[in-house]
Amino acid sequence: MLLFLFGSKDGLVRALLARARADELELLDRLRSTEGDRDLPTVAATVWEWLTAPPHRALLRLWTEGYFRSLVEPDGPWADFAGATVEDWLSVLAAAQPPGARDTAAGIAERAHTHARRAARRAPRPAGHR
């Protein structure tokens, strides 16, 4: 049945990734539509909170798998997944910055720092780690 619907296992993987990206792109489109109303830390927090919300955990696992596989299997069904999703997110984060700062070294560094700080704050800690 899967071969009939998707043509191959790779076709099924591509369809799942496309579905996952559709949900992600809907969030990013909503954030773009409120450009100017939110600053960079607020937009980064909104993206991270959406990704880590319990209803989106399966999507986050699929996104993580797709991201890493696209890096190690660049010609497979995961091809370009990492680059496309990161580019989508970076464009939304950049839009939350003042236009004059977006393309500067300081603006790029601010986006990277904001993302890394948020991820570190939300990352689960191993048992016994303080």
Per-residue pLDDT of the chain (130 residues; tens, 9 = 90+): 667 777 787 888 888 888 877 887 888 788 777 766 678 888 888 888 888 889 888 888 888 888 888 889 888 888 888 888 888 888 888 888 888 888 899 988 888 777 666 555 554 444 554 4
What pLDDT does 105 receive? Answer: 92
pLDDT of residue 94: 86
Torsion angle in degrees (nearest 10) through CA of 111, 117, 66, 32? -40
Burial 68-102 (b: 16+ CB within 10 A, else e): ebbeeeeeebbbebbeebeebbeebbbbbbeeeeb
pLDDT at residue 90, rounded to an integer: 82
pTM above 0.85, yes or no: no
Tell me what pLDDT residue 1 has. Answer: 65
What is the per-residue pLDDT for 126?
A: 47
